[in-house]
């Protein structure tokens, strides 16, 4: 192996400088933390004997100089994404340079070029990974919520409301306080706290919506999303016809009868909560990939109530719902929310869309609760 020069000449120093800047740019534009970029560049400079090296990294640029300001360079990084595979490859390269495993600048440049060419994971792979991760969280949080509901029977409505509002409030604080560092996610000015809306471009944006998409003029039919929904609906239909699914239906419809039939009420309730938690997470992922963004903070309030209202409009009740209720209710609810504001706006010349959405959502839920109360008298 060729030994590194202790005192590289000016041409060699320029080549080393260009390599280190390219490595830093690769790290920064693929989601590495600012201090990690600085640290990695300093390690590379020291390993290649580039003396008097100083670097200052921002979220969108790199400033560096070497040799008592003999040479300086600025790199603009206008766009950033997240590719941890490339970040890990460059970090590994820096360790190999420091240990002497990679001796020459030419070899380091070749390794860096390979790292920059690592492809992004397929969008559907990212979406599938998200669904798999959601199942793990459903076991933890859904299981905990199911345990709580089993401890406080008869007050599920009150507990659900309290837990729902408390969870959203808690997560709002965490979105602001936890040390996030990805520039595509944090607020641009302060660099702290997550944005209200995060783009999925470069991730799993339209992963299913674009699959087998049919375009008719200006109308696009997301065939992949519809097929996936049909697949999940079939799985739920098949599950509800199994022994466990039948027991779950019995527990929801008539707990006393289910208990008399020898069904473990608590176990079945917990299983149903875990499953519904996971299915809700899958639904959110489907919503995100279809629209191309993630919504945080108060967004759960804008999704949960319309979803419940749509099912109730489809003919479901507090104690019983079916896949048919979901399908019919979705079309009816969306039709009401889409068409009614248009008519109202033309009549009173005001934007009433949000007001109508709130009235329809809360009105249907109130009506369903009223029916349940009347039926229990």
pLDDT in tens, the chain (377 residues): 455 667 678 888 899 999 999 999 999 888 888 888 999 999 999 999 888 899 999 878 899 998 766 788 999 888 777 788 889 999 999 999 998 898 889 999 999 999 998 887 778 888 888 899 999 999 999 999 999 888 888 777 788 888 888 888 899 899 888 887 776 777 765 567 888 888 887 788 888 888 888 888 888 888 998 899 899 989 988 998 999 999 998 888 888 888 888 999 999 999 999 999 999 899 889 888 888 888 888 888 777 777 887 888 888 876 677 888 888 888 887 777 777 666 666 776 666 666 766 776 677 667 766 665 444 44
Domain ranges of the chain: 10-116, 122-297, 298-377
CA 148/CA 158 separation, integer angstroms: 12
The residue among 166, 142, 137, 129 whose CA lies nearest residue 300 is: 166
Compute how many other C-beta atoms are within 10 angstroms of the C-beta atom of residue 27: 28
| Confidence (pLDDT) at 278 | 93
pTM: 0.69
- Output the CA torsion 105→109→110→116 (10° steps): 160
| Confidence (pLDDT) at 195 | 85
Token pair recorded at residue 73: 């360079």
Token pair recorded at residue 127: 């979406």
- DSSP state, residue 294: E
| Confidence (pLDDT) at 371 | 60
Classify the C-alpha dihedral 347-351-355-358 as positive or negative. positive
- Find the helix or strand (DSSP H, E) in which 216 lies: strand 214-216
Q: How far is CA 251 from CA 246, 264, 319, 351, in A?
A: 9, 9, 10, 44
| Confidence (pLDDT) at 188 | 62
Q: Do residues 287 and 205 make contact, with C-beta atoms less than 8 angstroms apart?
A: no
CA 377/CA 375 separation, integer angstroms: 6
* Helix%, strand%, coil% for the chain, nearest 5: 65, 10, 30
Query: At a CB cut-off of 8 Å and minimum separation 6, what does 203 contact?
Result: 82, 123, 126
CA 208/CA 231 separation, integer angstroms: 13
pLDDT tens digits, 107-155: 999 999 999 988 877 788 888 888 999 999 999 999 999 998 888 887 7
Q: How far is CA 348 from CA 339, 344, 355, 358, in A?
A: 15, 6, 13, 18
| Confidence (pLDDT) at 177 | 87
Q: Do residues 43 and 30 make contact, with C-beta atoms less than 8 angstroms apart?
A: no
Bridge-based pairing state of the strands 219-221 and 71-76 = unpaired
Query: At a CB cut-off of 8 Å and minimum separation 6, what does 172 contact?
Result: 296, 297, 298
| Confidence (pLDDT) at 351 | 65
CA 150/CA 244 separation, integer angstroms: 18
Residue entry with tokens 């108060």? 298
| Confidence (pLDDT) at 370 | 66
């Amino acid at each position: 192996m060729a030994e590194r020069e202790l005192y590289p000449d000016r041409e060699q120093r320029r080549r080393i400088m260009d390599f280190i800047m390219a490595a830093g740019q690769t790290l920064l534009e693929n989601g590495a933390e600012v201090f990690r970029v600085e640290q990695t560049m300093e390690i590379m400079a020291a390993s290649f004997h580039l003396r008097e090296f100083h670097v200052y990294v921002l979220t969108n640029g790199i400033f560096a100089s070497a040799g008592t300001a003999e040479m300086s360079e600025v790199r603009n990084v206008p766009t950033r994404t997240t590719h941890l595979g490339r970040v890990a490859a460059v970090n590994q390269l820096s360790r190999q340079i420091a240990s002497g495993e990679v001796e020459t600048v030419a070899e380091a440049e070749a390794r860096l070029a390979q790292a920059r060419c690592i492809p992004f994971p397929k969008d559907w792979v990212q979406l599938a990974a998200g669904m798999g991760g959601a199942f793990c969280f459903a076991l933890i949080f859904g299981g905990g919520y199911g345990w709580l509901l089993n401890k406080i029977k008869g007050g599920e409505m009150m507990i659900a409301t309290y837990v729902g509002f408390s969870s959203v409030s808690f997560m709002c604080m965490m979105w602001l306080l936890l040390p996030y560092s990805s520039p595509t996610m944090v607020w641009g000015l302060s660099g702290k706290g997550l944005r209200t809306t995060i783009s999925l471009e470069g991730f799993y944006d339209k992963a299913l919506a674009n699959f087998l998409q049919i375009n008719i003029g200006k109308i696009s039919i997301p065939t992949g999303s519809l097929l996936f929904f049909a697949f999940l609906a079939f799985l739920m239909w098949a599950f509800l016809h199994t022994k466990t699914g039948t027991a779950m239906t019995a527990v929801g419809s008539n707990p006393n009868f289910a208990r008399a039939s020898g069904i473990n009420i608590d176990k079945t309730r917990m299983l149903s909560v875990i499953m519904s938690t996971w299915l809700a997470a899958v639904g959110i992922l489907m919503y995100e990939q279809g629209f191309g963004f993630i919504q945080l903070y108060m967004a759960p309030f804008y999704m949960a109530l319309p979803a419940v209202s749509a099912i109730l409009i489809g003919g479901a009740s507090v104690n019983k719902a079916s896949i048919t209720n979901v399908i019919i209710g979705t079309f009816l609810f969306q039709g009401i929310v889409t068409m009614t504001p248009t008519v109202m706006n033309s009549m009173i010349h005001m934007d009433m869309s949000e007001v109508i959405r709130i009235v329809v959502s809360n009105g249907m839920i109130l009506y369903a609760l009223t029916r349940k109360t009347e039926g229990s008298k």
